[in-house]
Amino acid sequence: KKIIEARARVISCSRLLPRMVNFPKELKTFCNGKCQKHTKWKVTQYKKGKDSLFAQGKRRYDRKQAGFGGQTKPVFHKKAKVTKKITLKMKCEKCSALRMKNLGRCKHFELGAEKKKKGPTIHGR
């Protein structure tokens, strides 16, 4: 019974979105490429590339849209999500190996911002 309660607690906590994620611009981790050891990796936020005009789906869509008849495919309007999933692109500084890391959803994402210090704050006047 205790195990079931603990699992329920973990599941309910995992559903909550973190308000802010702060990730370092550089980190040291293992490189599976040529290095085969711990090296420095440069971290950037992944951005989607420009859509190709010659992809099969785009060619099919343009062919169907051509001529008279108006909009032929449904246009999506029921946007439900508030956040986007954050994906990081990591590059090894030695061998230039690339690795993607999915962070999931968060309201606010920062890369390389100063860490917040814990403990009592003393305000001087």
Report whether pLDDT(104) > 60: yes
Mean per-residue pLDDT for 3-14?
52
pLDDT tens, residue by residue, 40-51:
999 999 999 999
Q: Which of 113, 109, 83 is nearest to 20 (CA)?
A: 109
Q: What is the pLDDT of residue 117?
A: 77
DSSP-derived 3-state class of residue 111 = strand
pLDDT tens, residue by residue, 59-73:
999 999 999 999 999
The whole-angstrom distance between residue 31's C-alpha and the CA centroid of its chain comes to 21
Count CB neighbours of 95 within 10 A.
13
> What separation in angstroms does the CA of 113 have from each of 8, 21, 73, 102, 109?
34, 10, 43, 19, 10
pTM of this structure:
0.70
